[in-house]
Amino acid sequence: MKKLFLFLAICSLFLIVSCGGSSNKDENKDNADTGETVNDEDSADSEPTGDTEPGDDTTADTGDSQDDGDSTDSADSTDDADSSDSQDDSDTSDSGDTDTTPADPCAGNPCKGKENSTEVCSADGENYTCGCDKGYVWKDGSCVLPECSNESTFPCIDSVTGLIWSGKTTVTTAEDMSTKIISHCEDLDEFGFTDWHTPTISQLRTLIINCEDTQPGGLCGVTDSCTQDSCAQGNCTTCDSSKEHSKLGDDTILASSSKDEYDVNYSVQFASGGIIFLTRAPYSIRCARCEDGKIWNGKKCFYPECSKGGDTPCFDSTSGLIWSAKEEEPSKTWAEAKVHCKKYSIGGLSGWRLPTIDELKTLLVWSRASSCKVSETDNCLASDCWTCSSCTETATQSSSDTNCVYSGDFNNDGIYSKFGDTDMFWSSSLRSNSNSGYAWCVDFGYGHVKDYYVKVIDASGYVYKGNVRCVK
């Protein structure tokens, strides 16, 4: 009996141990499944930051799939990968995108403020064109009069001479011929221009083509400086009538203001290219003018010679430079002066700049003008290029040649300047001493070359400013 009882007790204990082990095993399995889910979530969270090693992710996913045998987990894993790949592809695409749209050449409307422009901008590939007022054409970034030809509208400009030509008027009666030839152009108001004049014979000859003898410089001796009857002898009357002889397509007689000693006007018969006396009607008149600020110099329209109190822009025949007027606005800092000249434009003329010290020195009228060694051309811009004895007109040497005693007074008559200036004017040339912060300039009131601080304001609050003339 005791043996039976012992046997039953052992069997019962065995069953209890077996059931407990199975429960633990199931619990461990559940815990493993739970761990799998946590690991998947952690992997997904950490993947975008790049904190999780790729090899760890692959091993964990493979192990989870094998342990669970769960096709859903496998699908989830695939979806996560696809989602990640999709995200990566999207990011790569975004980061690789470049804007291939060409820049709009009309951005900011570059036509605004342009002379003779309607201010309407039209894109033409990478370039732009501005709409122009009636009678003007777009050329080289500006609205200008059309080039004269046998097909041009009027007024037009002859780029060879700079003369602007009006439309043609035909006169059918010879009454008051000499008076009418002059008064017609003086009274003409065409295209808003009122400063027309009747062309001289030299100006009218610039319109002749296909006739070497009567074109400018030809054997025909009739010019503005030779109007006597004897000047018209030989080689003046005719050329091949089968050819065109006018730049403007004329085939009629055009009158000039030039007369011989018998008070008879010269004219050009454009049907033949000859120069003849105007004695009868009908005849025609074209008026001429130079662009604003220019004058006829016998061969073309050009700027007048620079002089004290003269018009500007002007041409200095000594240096070959064209000078602007003195800037009438308040004086400028050196940086402002450079910008002003870069943007300066008058009468359609641009391309101005602040002059170098060499160019500015050409405006000095003094006895030492050639002896001052300060020069950008000669690469001598350091302070030791300047001496009192060579670069000043109204000063004398003191204890050393770098110290001057100004013996002369400020001159209000402008005797040291071709223009009669009495102010200090900037040049673009900087003093070459290391970190000097000075630019060379000319003080026309005292007649000397000097350097001047380019810093806008010094420690005491003083603003360094000077005057400006631009050059080209």
Higher pLDDT, 54 or 390: 390
Q: What is the per-residue pLDDT for 166?
A: 98
Most confident range (mean pLDDT) of 84-98, 253-267, 413-427, 448-462 is: 253-267
Least confident among 9-18, 173-182, 262-271, 403-412:
9-18
336 or 389, greater pLDDT: 336
Are the CB atoms for 197 and 287 separated by under 8 Å? yes
The mean pLDDT value for 148-166 works out to 96
- Please answer whether residues 323 and 359 qualify as being in contact, where contact means their C-beta atoms are separated by less than 8 angstroms: no
Nearest Cα to Cα of residue 294 among 137, 458, 164: 164
Instruction: Tell me: pLDDT of 208 over 70.
Output: yes
pLDDT in tens, 248-279: 999 999 999 999 999 999 999 999 999 999 99
Q: What is the average pLDDT across 210-232? A: 94
**CA–CA gap between residue 153 and residue 464 (Å, rounded):** 51
Measured at the alpha carbon of residue 141, what is the angle toward residues 139 and 146, in degrees to the nearest 5?
A: 20
How far is residue 367 from each of residues 370, 435, 447, measured CA to CA in Å? Answer: 8, 32, 10
3-state helix/strand/coil string of the chain: CHHHHHHHHHHHHHHHHHHHHHHHHHHHHHHHHHHHHHHHHHHHHHCCCCCCCHHHHHHHHHHHHHHHCCHHHHHHHHHHHHHHHHHHHHHHHHHHCCCCCCCCCCCCCCCCCCCCEEEEEEEECCEEEEEECCCCEEECCEEECCECCCCCCCCEECCCCCEEEEEEEEECCCCCHHHHHHHHHHCCCECCECCCECCCHHHHHCCECCCCCCCCCCCCCCECCECCHHHHCCCCCCCCCCCCCECCCCCCEEEEEEECCCCCEEEEECCCCEEEECCCCCEEEEEEEECCCCEECCCCEECCECCCCCCCCEEECCCCEEECCCCCCCCECHHHHHHHHHHCCECCECCCECCCHHHHHCCECCCCCCCCCCECCCCECCHHHCCHHHHECCEEECCCCCCEEECCCCCCCCCCECCCCCCEEEEEEECCCCCCCEEEEEECCCCEEEEEECCCECCCCCECCEECCCEC
pLDDT in tens, 240-249: 889 999 999 9
Q: Is the pLDDT of residue 198 over 80?
A: yes
- Mean pLDDT for the stretch of residues 217-245: 91
- Of 8-22, 145-159, 297-311, the poorest mean pLDDT is in 8-22
Q: Write out pLDDT tens, residues 132-151.
A: 999 999 998 889 999 999 99
Residue 151: predicted pLDDT: 95
Out of 91-95, 149-153, 341-345, which region has the weakest mean confidence (pLDDT)? Answer: 91-95
For residue 30, pLDDT beyond 70: no
Place of tokens 């700027």: 303
pLDDT at 102: 79
With a cut of 70, say whether residue 401 has pLDDT above it: no
Instruction: Record the pTM.
Output: 0.66
Confidence of residue 17 (pLDDT cuts 50, 70, 90): very low
Residue 48: is the preceding peptide bond cis (ω within 30°)? no
Would you say 267 and 255 are in contact if contact means Cβ atoms under 8 Å apart?
yes
pLDDT of residue 409: 58
Query: Of 153 and 88, which is predicted with more confidence?
Result: 153
